[in-house]
């Protein structure tokens, strides 16, 4: 579906063609200890460097951010210093407890950075983390996309080539951001106006979202739109991202997905299995059939914004109509039963991680992607696909 006056969203009725995905059973040697991660990343670093990539941004998913339940943002208006302190403390606690299990912690980023450091500083690639609230609704992801868009525009102006790695709903944050940039390049002012109308639900000093940042992005995109400027290409990699929002055509050839998957139907290998009885539910919760979170958190699975914020609730409903305009709650169960693993855009690598790593079943099979032991495997697979697609 073309971007017109609404965002592209995922069509659960369509089946992916075989060219969109591949099945992969890894070998025991495909995941390593942190000690030799740097050495095993050397080939990937060289390929990234040859492709012009200068910086890699790691973005965490839902529930491991700075304000996953949306509690602390509401205090920004009255006691901003306390709100910021609580967000910082919450994120530090999350990083301490989860480490690299379903979260890009400092240990993961440091191991990645060590592997991206070349003997020649000019060939080194920087690795940074980008935090967001981690809220499980449209408004939280849209606010993160606004923050990301500023980073992408800054890199575009500096002629810096980026690669984005996103776990879980961070992939959907990327989808919103790239659709905003595509709308700007296409001169679609009406779509941009509808998106930024979200700020009208809030007072300027609400603190719920950074309204100044939203309006600044609106001005920046309007300027680019007048020039019909084409934005710098961005390599995007998603890990365990639930199928929610679609992707613009500008991402064709520069979009890869990794999903923890154990095929259930030999005739439809791109499908998982939605539990139909207690035995299957137990297997799903144990992560024995792959990533259950990736299957479950599709359209209709959001949490509402903090209940005391009427403005946030109204803004979220507005974004829901904009992002998932044809979605009906009555369709959710039917969509869940389809158990789709593969997006309609990009190339998906469906990996049976648990065949060699029992820890891949943790957190319903959703935590394995950020495990430092699998870092080299992911980086080398990504680099190989970039090399073969150019």
**According to the model, what pLDDT value does residue 307 have?**
64
172 in Cβ contact with 141 (< 8 Å): yes
Report which secondary-structure segment, H or E, holds 217.
Answer: helix 211-227
**Ramachandran angles phi, psi of 258, nearest 5°:** -120, 130
**According to the model, what pLDDT value does residue 5 have?**
65
- Give Cα separations from 331 to 97, 123, 252 (angstroms): 36, 49, 28
User: How many domains does one find in the chain?
Assistant: 1
- Tokens matching residue 161: 């080539």
Give the whole-angstrom CA distance, residue 68 versus residue 247. Answer: 25
C-beta neighbour count of 40 within 10 angstroms: 19
- Tokens matching residue 259: 């999903």
**According to the model, what pLDDT value does residue 387 have?**
79
pTM to 2 decimal places: 0.94
- Residue 274 domain flag: yes
Q: Which residues pair with 256 in a beta bridge?
A: 237, 347
Give the whole-angstrom CA distance, residue 6 versus residue 195. Answer: 9
Residues 6+ apart with CB under 8 A from 293: 168, 240, 242, 363, 364, 365, 366
Q: What is the residue range of 301's domain?
A: 18-63+98-389
- Residue 253 domain flag: yes
Residues 6+ apart with CB under 8 A from 387: 47, 50, 51
List the one residue out of 37, 6, 8 whose CA is nearest residue 111: 37
- Residue 118 domain flag: yes
305 in Cβ contact with 139 (< 8 Å): yes
List the one residue out of 320, 83, 33 whose CA is nearest residue 207: 83
- Residue 12 domain flag: no
Give the whole-angstrom CA distance, residue 181 versus residue 169. Answer: 19
**Sheet architecture: strand order including 21-24:** 21-24, 347-351, 255-260, 235-239, 162-167, 55-59, 126-130
C-beta neighbour count of 265 within 10 angstroms: 11
- Residue 223 domain flag: yes
105 in Cβ contact with 93 (< 8 Å): no
- Residue 70 domain flag: no
- Residue 68 domain flag: no
Q: State whether residue 353 is helix, strand or coil.
A: helix
Beta pairing, strands 162-167 & 255-260: unpaired
Q: Tokens 């800054």, residue?
A: 154
Give the whole-angstrom CA distance, residue 137 versus residue 151. Answer: 22
- Residue 3 domain flag: no
List the one residue out of 390, 384, 383 whose CA is nearest residue 116: 383
Instruction: Tell me the pLDDT of the chain (390 aa) as tens digits.
Output: 445 667 888 888 877 766 689 999 998 877 765 456 778 899 999 999 999 999 999 999 998 988 888 877 777 766 777 888 888 888 888 888 888 989 999 999 999 999 999 877 778 999 999 999 999 999 999 999 999 999 999 999 999 999 999 999 999 999 999 999 999 999 999 999 999 999 999 877 666 788 999 999 999 999 999 998 889 889 999 999 999 999 998 898 999 999 999 998 888 889 999 999 999 999 999 999 999 999 999 999 999 887 667 889 999 999 999 998 867 777 889 999 999 999 989 999 999 999 999 999 999 999 999 999 999 999 999 999 997 776
DSSP state of 59: E
């Amino acid at each position: 579906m073309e971007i017109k006056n609404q965002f592209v969203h995922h069509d659960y009725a369509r089946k992916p063609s075989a060219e969109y995905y591949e099945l992969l059973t890894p070998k025991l040697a495909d995941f390593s200890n942190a000690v030799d991660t740097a050495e095993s990343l050397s080939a990937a670093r060289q390929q990234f460097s040859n492709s012009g990539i200068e910086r890699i941004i790691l973005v965490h998913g839902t529930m491991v951010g700075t304000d996953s339940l949306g509690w602390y943002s509401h205090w920004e208006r009255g006691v901003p210093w306390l709100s910021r302190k609580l967000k910082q403390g919450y994120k530090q606690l999350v990083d301490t407890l989860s480490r690299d299990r379903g979260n890009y912690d400092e240990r993961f980023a440091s191991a990645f950075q060590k592997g991206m450091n070349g003997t020649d500083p000019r060939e080194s690639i920087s690795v940074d983390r980008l935090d967001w609230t981690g809220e499980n609704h449209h408004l939280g992801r849209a606010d993160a996309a606004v923050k990301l868009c500023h980073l992408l525009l800054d890199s575009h102006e500096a002629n810096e080539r980026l690669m984005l790695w996103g776990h879980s709903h961070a992939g959907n944050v990327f989808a919103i951001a790239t659709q905003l940039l595509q709308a700007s390049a296409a001169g679609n002012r009406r779509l941009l106006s509808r998106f930024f109308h979200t700020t009208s639900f809030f007072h300027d000093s609400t603190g719920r979202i950074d309204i100044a940042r939203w309006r600044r992005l609106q001005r920046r995109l309007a300027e680019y739109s007048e020039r019909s400027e084409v934005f710098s290409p961005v390599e995007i990699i998603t890990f365990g991202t639930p199928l929610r929002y679609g992707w613009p055509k500008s991402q064709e050839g520069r979009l890869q997905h990794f999903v923890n998957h154990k095929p259930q139907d030999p005739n439809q290998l791109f499908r998982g299995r939605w539990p139909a009885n207690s035995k299957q539910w137990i297997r799903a919760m144990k992560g024995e059939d792959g990533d259950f979170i990736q299957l479950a958190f599709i359209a209709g699975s959001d949490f509402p914004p903090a209940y005391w914020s009427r403005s946030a609730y109204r803004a979220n409903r507005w974004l829901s109509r904009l992002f998932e305009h044809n979605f009906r709650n009555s369709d959710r169960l039917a969509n869940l039963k389809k158990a789709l693993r593969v997006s309609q855009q990009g190339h998906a690598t469906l990996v049976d991680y648990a065949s060699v790593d029992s820890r891949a079943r943790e957190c319903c099979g959703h935590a394995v992607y950020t495990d430092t032991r699998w870092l080299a495997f992911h980086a080398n697979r990504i680099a190989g696909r970039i090399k073969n697609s150019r």
